Chains A and B, each alone.
Chain A
Amino acid sequence: GNSVTQMEGPVTLSEEAFLTINCTYTATGYPSLFWYVQYPGEGLQLLLKATKADDKGSNKGFEATYRKETTSFHLEKGSVQVSDSAVYFCALTGAGSYQLTFGKGTKLSVIP
């Protein structure tokens, strides 16, 4: 079956530091890949997505590239802010599927 593995947290960074959160996946066929973000006390929001190999998703300064050869979708941001403190989830879905498979989440704390 499908599965997503993402780096364990928590991750603590200083403001303006570079962020990488690793995500690798196992899936049959050609899945679509997503990053969701959950701010404290809220539901999840889609941050970015990529639907085919070599696609780059980007939003709010965050980027992730769909790498089929390494089955990875790592999240990066060049300069984090305190407001980026949240839990980040990598997820995938197979072609024609209604089911999102989530990773366990990575908690990011950014300190001033």
Chain B
Amino acid sequence: NAGVTQTPKFQVLKTGQSMTLQCAQDMNHNSMYWYRQDPGMGLRLIYYSASEGTTDKGEVPNGYNVSRLNKREFSLRLESAAPSQTSVYFCASSGLGGTAQNYEQYFGPGTRLTVT
């Protein structure tokens, strides 16, 4: 049981390049999330998907797009990377359509992205 997996683990981009961060979960969870973690800022929600076929903006969605490909997979795309997007990105999932209040969020190991 792998839980939440993310690829790649590390990535370096030049300003203006694009890339997609991949996330998959094998726990049959309905809800999935993308966060970014910056020093001294805690984690901030970028986008989430409450269930397959739906996506919603979080606190810091500008410069990102997401796709809920199926129940297992939720990808995050940077169309034109900027140095301000240098961060550690975490994907998370939670169970059976419940809200964050009732269902623990399970986190992946993270992707460390540097934009030069």
Residues of A that sit less than 8 Å from B by CB: 4, 31-32, 41-46, 49, 51, 89, 93-100, 102-105
12 extra interchain contacts, Cβ-Cβ under 8 A, other than A100-B43, A102-B44?
A32-B101, A43-B4, A43-B90, A43-B107, A44-B43, A44-B90, A51-B102, A98-B56, A99-B58, A100-B45, A102-B42, A102-B43
Contact partners of A43 in chain B: CB under 8 A: 4, 90, 92, 107-110
Q: A43-B110, A99-B48, A104-B40 are in contact. Are A51 and B105 (CB under 8 A)?
A: no
**What is the CA–CA distance of A95 and B98 in the complex, to the nearest angstrom?**
11
> Within the complex, what minimum Cβ distance (angstroms) separates A64 from chain B?
15
Q: Let me know if B31 is at the binding interface, CB within 8 A.
A: yes
Contact partners of B40 in chain A: CB under 8 A: 104
| 6 shortest interchain CB distances as A-B pairs | A43-B107, A102-B42, A93-B100, A104-B42, A32-B101, A44-B107
A103 near B42 (CB under 8 angstroms)?
A: yes
B109 near A42 (CB under 8 angstroms)?
A: yes
Contact partners of A32 in chain B: CB under 8 A: 100-102
Q: Let me know if B2 is at the binding interface, CB within 8 A.
A: no
Number of B residues near A (Cβ < 8 Å) is 26
> Within the complex, what minimum Cβ distance (angstroms) separates A22 from chain B?
15
Q: A98-B50, A103-B42 are in contact. Are A46 and B99 (CB under 8 A)?
A: no
A97 near B110 (CB under 8 angstroms)?
A: no
Select A96's contact among B101, B108, B109, B110, beta carbons within 8 Å.
Answer: B101
Complex A-B: 16 CB contacts under 8 Å: A4-B42, A32-B102, A42-B110, A43-B4, A43-B109, A44-B90, A93-B99, A97-B100, A98-B48, A99-B45, A99-B100, A100-B45, A100-B100, A103-B42, A104-B41, A105-B42
**What is the CA–CA distance of A42 and B112 in the complex, to the nearest angstrom?**
11
Contact partners of B92 in chain A: CB under 8 A: 43-44
User: Taking CB as reference atom, which chain B residue is nearest A31?
Assistant: B101
A98 near B42 (CB under 8 angstroms)?
A: no
B101 near A51 (CB under 8 angstroms)?
A: yes
